Amino acid sequence: MGKDRAASGMDFGIRVAAVIERSGALLLVRHRKPDREPYWVLPGGRLEPGETIPECAEREVAEETGLSGTFAGVLYVSEFLREGRHTVDVTARVEVDPDADAALGSDPEVAPGAEPTLSELRWVGVDELRGIGLLPAGIKDHLLADAAKGWPATEAYLGDARDG
């Protein structure tokens, strides 16, 4: 007997965020949504059906920052489970051309003519990161702890099962 996931009323999804580092600073995106205080996140978004984690990380980086990047591994996996919502957060390392300029992109889910969700893009050093309200909050602690190591990706991602 299978589970009826739709009947649970739970909004379930996988979010893939990207750690992009340049000279000890991380690239962050500020979100501004109606009825909510603005907040900072790593570039990223929901994994689309049929999309792999590396594909999602690279797509989200391109959409939100204008940078072309290459998936370099997984840093962290965490979960958000509250208020009718269950999100699995995968934080990946994405390598970009060190000379490329980032430019604030857009969220394709925002309707044309609506107020944009993305409001700012900024390289943030470790000292500044300490004072920023980054979401999800637990990731910030790990990013600060791993800063001295340069946010090394792990071998945790075993690849796409379609590969064999």
**Sign of the C-alpha dihedral, residues 105, 43, 135, 146?**
negative
- pLDDT confidence of residue 5: 52
Whole-number Å distance between alpha carbons of 43 and 17: 6
The answer on pLDDT for 78 being more than 50 is yes
| Average of per-residue pLDDT values in the chain | 87
* pLDDT (tens digit per residue) in 133-150: 898 888 999 999 999 888
Res. 76: pLDDT tops 90: yes
Q: Is the pLDDT of residue 90 over 90?
A: yes
Look at the block and give the residue holding tokens 């603005």: 38
Residue pLDDT, tens place only, 32-55: 877 888 889 999 999 999 999 999
What average pLDDT does the segment 51-80 reach?
95
Q: Which of 55-59, 107-111, 130-134 has the highest mean pLDDT?
A: 55-59
Instruction: Return the HEC string of the chain.
Output: CCCCCHHHCCEEEEEEEEECEECCEEEEEEECCCCCCCEEECCEEECCCCCCHHHHHHHHHHHHHCCCEEEEEEEEEEEEEECCEEEEEEEEEEEECCCCCCCCCCCCCCCCCCCCCEEEEEEEEHHHHHCCCECCHHHHHHHHHHHHHCCCCECCCCCCHHHC
pLDDT at 6: 56
- The CATH superfamily holding the domain 12-96+116-154 is Nucleoside Triphosphate Pyrophosphohydrolase (3.90.79.10)
Name the band, by pLDDT with cuts 50, 70 and 90, for residue 89. very high
Mean pLDDT for 78-93 is: 91
**What gap in Å lies between CA 114 and CA 98, rounded to an integer?**
33
- 152: nearest Cα among 69, 53, 73: 73
Q: Is the pLDDT of residue 7 over 60?
A: no
**Which residues contact residue 47 at a Cβ distance below 8 angstroms, ignoring those fewer than 6 apart?**
13, 14, 15, 16, 53, 56, 90
Which residue is associated with the tokens 């978004």? 45
Q: Given this model, what pLDDT does residue 13 score?
A: 94
Above 50 in pLDDT, residue 1?
Answer: no
Each domain of the chain, given as residue ranges in start order, spans 12-96+116-154
